[in-house]
Amino acid sequence: MSILAAFAVPHPPIILPEVGHGEEKKIARTTEAYRTVMKQAAALCPDTLVITSPHADSYLDYFAISPGPKASGDFGQFRAPQVTISVQYDAPLAQAISRAAEAEELPAGLLGTRHDDLDHGTMIPLYFFRQFLSLDQVKIVRIGLSGLSAGAHYHLGQLIARCSEALGRRTVFIASGDLSHKLKKDGPYGFAAEGPVFDKACMEALGKADFLSLLTMDHGLCTRAAECGLRSFWIMAGALDCKAVKAEALSHEDVFGVGYGVVSFEVIREDATRCIGKKLREAVLQYRQAKKAGEDDYVRLARHSVETFVTTKKPASLPGELPAAMKEERHGAFVSLHLNGELRGCIGTILPTRQNVAEEILYNGIAACSEDPRFSPVRPEELQDLEYSVDILEEPEPVSGPEELDVRKYGVIVQAASDHRRGLLLPDLEGVDTVEKQIRIARQKGRIGAAEPIRLWRFTVTRHGEN
């Protein structure tokens, strides 16, 4: 059996006495649980520890596997440079995973390394592990996360298990990741109501080894909770595919406003009923069908525009049956595309430029999928997972200052007082919770300096579809 056990663990630097200087005592239950699971891991005498970390090199569309024979790091950025960690990489296993991913067209491999030093998400589990077994007696595979789908993360985990089996490795999987970062008003990231909801749902799913629930958690909830380790847990779930496991949730704490959970998974035996991949594909298909069934005429037209252009490179024709408002009214419109919970393109017009709203959507859909300078053009294989929203803009009105804005109700237009540079931000966006942040982002989009005098406009929208 290639995967001997797996552990979901947090990575708060303050848990180290050399960093916490006494503050670590406030999360003593997490420390105790950490020692318990790393003692379990060491007792298995693994050949290899596979560690997935949110703080290793990460990309939106690629899993970076750290290459080379060895690596080291320290906690200098946390004022403890004397604490060092050095490891030997399991280069043959890393190479095997990379080759397997390439063969199955999963974007993962040994390219894209930007930071050779070990990150703290990798080092903190090793800090505890080496208390029970020397790091000279085990090798490491370190893998970053990505912005790809839950299914892609799960698939990578399956390949890790498969390659470990092929090479005869006794492998322990360590999924490094904190939970929500928004659990307390006086915490470093503030409070969001979704934070405790996410932590409860995540810990319940982990504690029951309910990986399907973990893989299908709501993107909006996860984003608003500012979660850290979910994608790490997704890969772990894939590594445990088709295996019966004994799960135990040892601790959960939120003392510092960030969720720290420790959960162990002892592999009992192979179990075909635990093959979650097929169930996940079925759940994703049902989700896609439900989303399409719930789209209104505005969103359907945006989808029609994008899918037609991406597959034929030609603009779509307007459907014959459209509501009168779409054919008769003129408004500015924005089309936004999201993929796996991340923005994939957003282009629009502040004021109407076409004959009617329908044509505005039709051509802005093309622009959103092919002309947004922040992204490469949408590829045909991405179409089935794209989610759409369409914002219909009312005419902007000038305001005298930020006190007349409201991030939930109004979008904002910021224009430099000295010229025509201009930036726009739609209302009610994920992560934009203050007027100050809304204006700052609009300044950045318009390339307007933070100290430059500006003029402000506000506008309302009618939103169709998701944010």
Position 412, amino acid: V
Q: Encode pLDDT of 112-133 as tens digits.
A: 888 899 999 999 999 999 999 9
What local confidence, expressed as pLDDT, does residue 1 receive? 59
In a domain, 225, yes or no: yes
Instruction: Please give the structure tokens belonging to residue 119.
Output: 């990150």
What CATH number corresponds to the domain at position 158?
A: 3.40.830.10
Indicate whether 335 and 440 sit together in one domain.
no
What CATH number corresponds to the domain at position 338?
A: 3.30.700.20
Residue 317 clears pLDDT 80, i.e. is over it? yes
Q: Encode pLDDT of 139-170 as tens digits.
A: 999 999 999 999 999 999 999 999 999 999 99
What local confidence, expressed as pLDDT, does residue 277 receive? 78
Indicate whether 436 and 463 sit together in one domain.
yes
The model carries a pTM of 0.84
Indicate whether 34 and 17 sit together in one domain.
yes
The stretches of 61-119 forming alpha helices (DSSP H) are 91-103
Q: Which among 231, 266, 284 is the end of a domain?
A: 284
Indicate whether 250 and 321 sit together in one domain.
no
Mean pLDDT of the chain: 94
Of the candidates 52, 2, 9, 66, the one whose C-alpha atom is nearest the C-alpha of residue 240 is 2
Helix (H, G, I), strand (E, B) or coil at 448: coil
Q: How many CA atoms lie within 13 A of 339 on its CB side?
A: 24
DSSP-assigned letter for residue 14: G
Helix (H, G, I), strand (E, B) or coil at 40: helix
Burial class (CB in 10 A: 0-12, 13-18, 19+), 398: exposed
In which band, very low, low, confident or very high, does the pLDDT at 284 lie, cut at 50, 70 and 90? Answer: confident
For residues 439-457, average pLDDT:
94
The backbone torsions φ and ψ at residue 136, rounded to the nearest 5 degrees and listed phi first, read -70, -15
What CATH number corresponds to the domain at position 419?
A: 3.30.1490.150
Q: Encode pLDDT of 180-196 as tens digits.
A: 999 999 988 999 999 99
**Residue length of the chain:** 467
- Spell out a b/e string for 279-310, using b for 16 or more CB atoms within 10 Å of the CB, else e: ebeebbeeeeeebeeebebbbbbbbbbbbbbb
How many domains, the chain?
3
Tell me which of 38-52, 109-123, 272-286, 423-437 is least confident. Answer: 272-286
What local confidence, expressed as pLDDT, does residue 27 receive? 97
Determine how β-strand 397-399 pairs with β-strand 454-459.
antiparallel
Q: Which among 250, 284, 318 is the end of a domain?
A: 284
Of the candidates 105, 97, 84, 179, the one whose C-alpha atom is nearest the C-alpha of residue 143 is 97
Q: What percent of the chain has pLDDT over 70?
A: 99
Indicate whether 330 and 204 sit together in one domain.
no
In a domain, 94, yes or no: yes
Indicate whether 411 and 263 sit together in one domain.
no
In a domain, 263, yes or no: yes
What local confidence, expressed as pLDDT, does residue 341 receive? 79
What's the rounded Cα separation, in Å, for the pair 332 and 347?
Answer: 11
Instruction: Report how far apart, in Å, the C-alpha atoms of 331 and of each of 160, 182, 213, 328 are.
Output: 51, 38, 41, 10
Indicate whether 262 and 165 sit together in one domain.
yes
What local confidence, expressed as pLDDT, does residue 257 receive? 96
Residue 467 clears pLDDT 60, i.e. is over it? no
Instruction: Please give the structure tokens belonging to residue 375.
Output: 């992204």
For residues 364-387, average pLDDT:
93
In a domain, 11, yes or no: yes
| 324: containing domain | 294-387
- Spell out a b/e string for 28-39, using b for 16 or more CB atoms within 10 Å of the CB, else e: eebbebbebbbe
Residue 103 clears pLDDT 70, i.e. is over it? yes
What local confidence, expressed as pLDDT, does residue 362 receive? 97
Indicate whether 104 and 231 sit together in one domain.
yes
Indicate whether 310 and 457 sit together in one domain.
no
In a domain, 289, yes or no: no
Indicate whether 93 and 151 sit together in one domain.
yes
Question: Are 334 and 426 spatial neighbours (Cβ–Cβ below 8 Å)?
Answer: yes
In a domain, 61, yes or no: yes
Helix (H, G, I), strand (E, B) or coil at 167: coil
Determine how β-strand 48-53 pairs with β-strand 171-176.
parallel
Indicate whether 261 and 313 sit together in one domain.
no
Indicate whether 250 and 314 sit together in one domain.
no
In a domain, 311, yes or no: yes
Number of helices (H) and strands (E), helices first, in the chain?
Answer: 14, 18
Q: Which among 284, 304, 327 is the end of a domain?
A: 284
Residue 429 clears pLDDT 70, i.e. is over it? yes
